[in-house]
Amino acid sequence: MGSYVAKTGEFTRDTDYISTRITADGRDGYPVEAGRYRLIVARACPWANRAIIVRRLLGLEKVMSIGFCGPTHDERSWTFDLDPDGVDPVLKIPRLRDAYFKRFPGYPKGITVPAIVDIPSGEVVTNDFAQMTLDFSTEWTAYHRDGAPQLYPEPLRAQIDEVNERVYREINNGVYQCGFAGSQQAYDDAYERLFSALDWVSERLAAQRYLVGYTITEADIRLFTTLVRFDAVYHGHFKCNRCKLTEMPVLWAYARDLFQTPGFGDTVDFVQIKRHYYLVHSDINPTGIVPKGPDLAGWLTAHGREALGGKPFGNGTPPGPPPENERVPAGHSV
């Protein structure tokens, strides 16, 4: 996916994404416009899961369509194998790579999700997942639903950015640095950084319901998509095994609180998550066996986090149920 393991064994993610932005003023040539763009995701991918959640919380479903790739892919590209005949019904392409190549012939880097495609031209606009969700909050405000939450409120942006930076470096990406480490020392170092950071967010969340402020923000969404995959994948597959999420009381309660919030748990597909990691990473799991566990029933148990105060959506309201054609398949979640 455009990343590599150094000679000393450290996994390094290539973060040189397509930096084009879709903005209200259209300064990069792509103005915010209803119906023009298609968000391409895979439910398996934590980076894409963020975009799915933010789009849903802000109510952008009616102005930005969504296309789902299957949970597995080959070296060349994510594919639309969930769609009839394996072709995206809007873009009319079988591989996400086709949209990348349409704009950048022979694009040499990883074909990643989430990606936003310009429907009229069939060209990829951006795959910069970190900027993408911030732009949903700040550039697409004209199309936010009534009652949409403030996920990136101006007074808290510096604090959110600071939290996000460490969460990304040591947790979101940290699990990968454990899983893809090419030496014992690189793994040991990544493991220590990961669990030190998990202890740090746990301490922070012991006395407050959300990471920054009194409502759900972008920071919570970014941490959630790693936590929700922790026991199903990262604990065993990536050797992040000091303890399971269910053995970290504060983070387990926090993750359940978010999971039970509309827009979070209803975007999570555990079947696809496990199929992706255990089948695609054949270097880590050469047998291709997908584990049956863990038991997911605990995700719906009481979490008690309401006692800390805070309002999930501030003065806003929860999103309604997901559109019929965007629901996680029956049996794929809790």
DSSP state of 112: -
CB of 308 within 8 A of CB of 252?
A: no
CB 97 within 8 A of CB 122: no
Phi first, then psi: what are they for 294, rounded to 5°? -85, 170
Between CA 151 and CA 54 the distance in angstroms is: 8
Residue in 37, 176, 210, 277 annotated catalytic: 176
Pair 238, 176: CB distance under 8 Å? yes
Q: Which residues contact 293 (CB under 8 A, 6 or more apart)?
A: none
**Choice among 17, 30, 45, 210 that is catalytic:** 45
**Three-class SS of residue 291?**
coil
Whether 214 sits among the annotated catalytic residues: the reply is no
Distance in angstroms (rounded) separating the CA atoms of residues 24 and 78: 29
- Rounded to an integer, what distance in angstroms lies between the CA atom of residue 201 and that of residue 3? 27
Q: How far apart are CA 23 and CA 30, in angstroms?
A: 7
Is 78 labeled as ligand-binding?
A: yes
Is 176 one of the annotated active-site residues of the chain? yes
Q: Point out which residues pair with 69 in neighbouring strands.
A: 42
Name the nearest CA neighbour of 261 among 200, 293, 295, 306: 306
Mark the binding-site residues, compressed into ranges.
78
Instruction: Point out the annotated binding site for glutathione.
Output: 78
Residues identified as active-site = 45, 176
